[in-house]
Amino acid sequence: MMPLTMAGAGETVTIGKITGKDEVRQHLAELGFVVGSEIKVVNDMGGNVIVQVKDSRVALDKTMANRIMV
């Protein structure tokens, strides 16, 4: 497993684990980041990423993206 920040633009990855406090994990789950779901990295800018989750695009800063293990 690796953090989401290590995935390159254009890659489709599956979420394996989400780390952090309960509030952080809940917030990410509300955005569609749940274990087992597939996400596509649309753009990667120095650790900050834009990902496509289901039919939405979400921007994550480096700190949040590092909590999502793929």
Given 2.60.40.10, 3.40.50.300, 2.60.210.10, 2.30.30.90, which CATH number is that of 4-69?
2.30.30.90
Q: Is the entire prediction scored with pTM above 0.75? A: yes
Could you give the count of Cα atoms lying within 13 Å of 15 in the half-sphere of its Cβ?
24
- Angle at Cα 33 formed by Cα 29 and Cα 39, nearest 5°? 165
Structure tokens at 13: 């990855």
49 CA to centre of own chain: 8
Average pLDDT, the chain: 94
Q: What is the DSSP letter of 47?
A: T
**pLDDT tens, residue by residue, 19-51:** 999 999 999 999 999 999 999 999 998 889 999
Domain regions of the chain by residue span: 4-69
Q: Dig out the tokens for 38 from the structure.
A: 């597939």
